[in-house]
A and B are shown apart, each in its own frame.
Chain A
Amino acid sequence: MAVCVAVIAKENYPLYIRSAPTENELKFHYMVHTSLDVVDEKISAMGKALVDQRELYLGLLYPTEDYKVYGYVTNSKVKFVMVVDSSNTALRDNEIRSMFRKLHNSYTDVMCNPFYNPGDRIQSRAFDNMVTSMMIQVC
């Protein structure tokens, strides 16, 4: 279960970032920020690799002693970063993938909303609910 979920725009500013309230949010924000470098590195490494679901999911970006950070990038270079607690029995990779897939779906739903201007912060309640469910479910 994620302790922090962030959606980063192409220009590397956050569109949405939410942490489980128990923790010091600033710490998570910082972790997400530093993980952007790793994400960029992975993206550039992919190069011309065909972009399919597999490549969209970047996998574990880097582990810290307490947390693991996973990344996912969409075709439009919007990045999803998820910080999960290592204390949970390690979540399997495909679980993380499914969480990212859900995130991606919700994100596209947000995009479909004509009242949403790309580049705005995401304020959709449905998206919030989905993220909340992700944060709660596994823990």
Chain B
Amino acid sequence: MEGLTLSDAEQKYYSDLFSYCDIESTKKVVVNGRVLELFRAAQLPNDVVLQIMELCGATRLGYFGRSQFYIALKLVAVAQSGFPLRVESINTVKDLPLPRFVASKNEQESRHAASYSSDSENQGSYSGVIPPPPGRGQVKKGSISHDTVQPRTTADPQEPASPVVSPQQSPPTSPHTWRKHNRHPSGGNSERPLAGPGPFWSPFGEAQSGGSAGDAVWSGHSPPPPQENWVSFADTPPTSTLLTMHPASAQDQTTVRTVASATTANEIRRQSSSYDDPWKITDEQRQYYVNQFKTIQPDLNGFIPGSAAKEFFTKSKLPILELSHIWELSDFDKDGALTLDEFCAAFHLVVARKNGYDLPEKLPESLMPKLIDLEDSADVGDQPGEVGYSGSPAEAPPSKSPSMPSLNQTWPELNQSSEDTAIVHPVPIRMTPSKIHMQEMELKRTGSDHTNPTSPLLVKPSDLSEENKINSSVKFASGNTVDGYSSSDSFTSDPEQIGSNVTRQRSHSGTSPDNAAPPPPPPRPQPSHSRSSSLDMNRTFTVTTGQQQAGVVAHPPAVPPRPQPSQAPGPVVHRPVDADGLITHTSTSPQQIPEQPNFADFSQFEVFAASNVNDEQDEEVEKHPEVLPVEKASDPASSLRVAKTDSKIEEKTATSAPANVSKGTTPLAPPPKPVRRRLKSEDELRPEVDEHTQKTGVLAAVLASQPSIPRSIGKDKKAIQASIRRNKETNTVLARLNSELQQQLKDVLEERISLEVQLEQLRPFSHL
């Protein structure tokens, strides 16, 4: 076959026809019978038809492939225009009108006979009606063609020469004029699609000019809403195409439109024929739909919920089953709500249905919501399928692509899902609060206490943030509840100050009590502590609320070794730590505080103790001497803590102690905690008991000996950071330990259960 160049309109038209003939949906070969019918409908003499078939190669091949079909169509056009049939002519003849076929669908005829009869005029004008795009106008095309067919039905050859003769008025030339009309789409987009069927419609259009009925039909297309609420629509003839063609008649049409359904049938027919794609929404229609949408949902980018849509469409008095089907088709993303596009599609389908069009099985592409990947949907809709719409993807309604999230129908729920939460990371509030609080307290304290108020304060915020982050990441896992605990420890000494500070930072609710709080638990209970020791600490500390911190602080003797130096098991720990720190560095709690939140308490306590509370002072005094020994003790304690197991923790405390010492605060504090935890864990799990006991002993000693919170004023940031790091390590170690212990716990519980079961089983036997 020679290369065939087709214009857009021709392409569309031909593909329509191809689909029409392709009743077996092979998409490749058309049935000869249909093709022959089509050619007969072209009203060409038989020999011409034969010649065409030969030329296109169908006779050679024995079937009509797509290319053959197209060539044949082109030749038909050539023949109809009066040009000699030659192979070259398919490409050489320019501006060839589209081939015209007189539809001779008997079924269509019957279908529309009734409705059509009233509009015989219009129909007549339809002479040029092409076989309605397959599937498209079930009714409409039929009716239209019906009319034309009727007069000439069998007489295909009757008007070989005047294909477009419409009985009523269409002068033979009308089609031509029409064609021109159509070719130059005067109307909106809808015109374009018409291009294909243009010629066909042209007669129609012509007829219309003659008869308002035609227009009426047309307008009917834009669903003449039978219901009142839809009446408005009728007034706005969507028939842009028709209008362009027959502006005058349009008005008539409007009136006619609202006429009986018979006219609507015609209109529908017209309509379907008017577009290439009968489901295309004209501009007026779209405007109408948009207005209706606004009445329900003022925001054009918003959704109409299912219930509102249900009410609205129920007004159309269509059976629920059909409405349900329309909904299925139009709710593209299956979210139970309609966007503007979906709503327009649904409305359009309802209108079409009311006008007698059958509902398609699949959503026609022109009705598909324009999503970002329009092409996909376009392709999808391109299947001739049952609908047989021409693939005119691009021309789909100019709908904006609303926020339709799902591009494919396979993604129903995407609708607004957008931001999802992605939970991200647990917001570390809890953990840090203790730190924050502590730091805040420290800050406050320092501020109030004057001792290096600024330095620690300055340091604190940054540290706090670091700590917070760290803590959150590390501690969060351990989920310690110790925050309150820790905070209480540290803050007890300085409730007011703390309070204010706390508010400054994001104070954890747990810790906020600091303000007035009873002895806040050590700043940050290590993960291990959180489980057990923390509780203890809490208890201990809560008891001591209001009491001097010192007392409380000094108290947690049995606090398990603090896994991390940073963890200030309790004020006591802190204190001793601070004391140590102080001793070593004579400095400032504030500095210590920044290093580790846990320790912050201590340092604060230290300061506070030193400055405020008598007891504390005493404590401090006590602590001081103890600091050293405590430090030493804490060293081993911290070193102990470092060990993975309980031992690790103790080691850590020991190590942390030194760190603390350097920092001056925390090391001591942690030790007691870990120790305590150890104890608890021992209770629960035998395994580490031995280790623990040893360590606990050490730690306890350490703790006891550490009365005050060493405050090392001269702490360098590095030391602080080092201690932070150590604390973090301790944290992780403890967390791991915690999880292991929990696992052990689970195992033990399971054993217990199994044992109990066995017991149960054995018991009956025992009775025997």
A-B contact count (CB 8 A): 41
B residues less than 8 Å from A129 (CB atoms): 361
A125–B321 CA distance with the chains assembled, in angstroms: 10
Closest to A112 in B: B336
Closest to A116 in B: B324
Name which of B302-310, B422-430, B606-614, B755-763 contacts chain A.
Answer: B302-310
**Is A123 among interface residues, defined by CB-CB distance under 8 A?**
yes
In contact, B327 and A125 (Cβ under 8 angstroms): no
Given A105-B412, A108-B334, A125-B325, output 13 extra A-B contacts at Cβ < 8 Å. A112-B334, A112-B335, A113-B324, A113-B336, A114-B336, A115-B310, A115-B320, A115-B324, A116-B324, A123-B324, A124-B324, A124-B325, A129-B361
Closest to B322 in A: A115
Chain B residues at the A interface, C-beta cutoff of 8 Å: 306-307, 309-310, 313, 320-321, 323-325, 327-328, 331, 334-336, 361, 412
In contact, B336 and A115 (Cβ under 8 angstroms): no
In contact, B307 and A126 (Cβ under 8 angstroms): no
In contact, A125 and B310 (Cβ under 8 angstroms): no
**Is A95 among interface residues, defined by CB-CB distance under 8 A?**
no
A112–B361 CA distance with the chains assembled, in angstroms: 18
B residues less than 8 Å from A113 (CB atoms): 306, 324, 327-328, 331, 336
A123–B335 CA distance with the chains assembled, in angstroms: 19
A124–B334 CA distance with the chains assembled, in angstroms: 13
A116–B323 CA distance with the chains assembled, in angstroms: 9
State whether A115 and B323 are in contact (beta carbons under 8 Å apart), knowing that A125-B328, A125-B361 are contacts in the complex: yes
Closest to A113 in B: B327
Instruction: List which A27-79 residues lie within 8 A (CB) of chain B.
Output: none
State whether A109 and B324 are in contact (beta carbons under 8 Å apart), knowing that A114-B307, A114-B336, A125-B361 are contacts in the complex: no
List the 9 shortest-distance A-B pairs measured between CB atoms, nearest first: A114-B306, A114-B310, A115-B324, A112-B336, A115-B323, A113-B327, A109-B334, A126-B328, A115-B320
In contact, A114 and B327 (Cβ under 8 angstroms): yes
Select the residue from B310, B323, B334 with max chain A CB neighbours within 10 A. Answer: B334
B residues less than 8 Å from A116 (CB atoms): 324
A116–B309 CA distance with the chains assembled, in angstroms: 13
In contact, B325 and A112 (Cβ under 8 angstroms): no
A15–B412 CA distance with the chains assembled, in angstroms: 23
State whether A124 and B336 are in contact (beta carbons under 8 Å apart), knowing that A109-B412, A114-B310, A115-B323 are contacts in the complex: no
A115–B323 CA distance with the chains assembled, in angstroms: 7
Closest to B319 in A: A115
A114–B336 CA distance with the chains assembled, in angstroms: 7
Closest to B313 in A: A115
The DSSP consensus for interface residues of chain B is: helix
A residues less than 8 Å from B309 (CB atoms): 114
A residues less than 8 Å from B412 (CB atoms): 105, 108-109, 112
Q: List 18 A-B pairs, Cβ < 8 Å.
A: A105-B412, A108-B334, A108-B412, A109-B334, A112-B331, A112-B334, A113-B306, A113-B327, A113-B328, A113-B336, A114-B310, A114-B327, A114-B336, A116-B324, A124-B325, A124-B328, A125-B328, A129-B361
B residues less than 8 Å from A125 (CB atoms): 325, 328, 361
Nearest CB of chain A from residue B336's CB, rounded to whole Å? 4
A105–B325 CA distance with the chains assembled, in angstroms: 17
Instruction: From the candidates B306, B307, B321, name the one contacting A123 in the complex (CB within 8 A).
Output: B321
B residues less than 8 Å from A115 (CB atoms): 310, 313, 320, 323-324, 327
Nearest CB of chain A from residue B405's CB, rounded to whole Å? 15
Closest to A127 in B: B328
Closest to B318 in A: A115
A33–B320 CA distance with the chains assembled, in angstroms: 29
Instruction: List which A90-116 residues lie within 8 A (CB) of chain B.
Output: 105, 108-109, 112-116
A residues less than 8 Å from B331 (CB atoms): 112-113
Nearest CB of chain A from residue B383's CB, rounded to whole Å? 14
A108-139 to B contact mask, C-beta < 8 Å, 1/0: 11001111100000011110010000000000
Nearest CB of chain A from residue B135's CB, rounded to whole Å? 15
Nearest CB of chain A from residue B319's CB, rounded to whole Å? 10
A residues less than 8 Å from B336 (CB atoms): 112-114
Nearest CB of chain B from residue A97's CB, rounded to whole Å? 18
Nearest CB of chain A from residue B40's CB, rounded to whole Å? 36
Closest to A125 in B: B325
B residues less than 8 Å from A114 (CB atoms): 306-307, 309-310, 327, 336
Closest to B325 in A: A125
Select the residue from B307, B309, B328 with max chain A CB neighbours within 10 A. Answer: B328
B residues less than 8 Å from A112 (CB atoms): 306, 331, 334-336, 412
A11–B142 CA distance with the chains assembled, in angstroms: 47
A residues less than 8 Å from B334 (CB atoms): 108-109, 112
A residues less than 8 Å from B307 (CB atoms): 114
A129–B328 CA distance with the chains assembled, in angstroms: 12
A112–B412 CA distance with the chains assembled, in angstroms: 10
A114–B346 CA distance with the chains assembled, in angstroms: 13
A105–B335 CA distance with the chains assembled, in angstroms: 12
A26–B336 CA distance with the chains assembled, in angstroms: 35
Nearest CB of chain A from residue B315's CB, rounded to whole Å? 13
A69–B629 CA distance with the chains assembled, in angstroms: 77
B residues less than 8 Å from A108 (CB atoms): 334, 412
A6–B306 CA distance with the chains assembled, in angstroms: 27
Nearest CB of chain B from residue A20's CB, rounded to whole Å? 21
A116–B324 CA distance with the chains assembled, in angstroms: 7
Nearest CB of chain B from residue A131's CB, rounded to whole Å? 14
Closest to A110 in B: B328
A residues less than 8 Å from B325 (CB atoms): 124-125
A residues less than 8 Å from B310 (CB atoms): 114-115
A123–B320 CA distance with the chains assembled, in angstroms: 10
Closest to B309 in A: A114
A residues less than 8 Å from B321 (CB atoms): 123
A112–B334 CA distance with the chains assembled, in angstroms: 7
Nearest CB of chain B from residue A112's CB, rounded to whole Å? 4
A114–B313 CA distance with the chains assembled, in angstroms: 11
A residues less than 8 Å from B313 (CB atoms): 115
B residues less than 8 Å from A109 (CB atoms): 328, 334, 412
A108–B334 CA distance with the chains assembled, in angstroms: 9
Closest to B412 in A: A109
Closest to A126 in B: B328
Nearest CB of chain A from residue B312's CB, rounded to whole Å? 10
A109–B323 CA distance with the chains assembled, in angstroms: 15
A126–B306 CA distance with the chains assembled, in angstroms: 18
A109–B406 CA distance with the chains assembled, in angstroms: 14
Nearest CB of chain A from residue B559's CB, rounded to whole Å? 39
Closest to B361 in A: A125
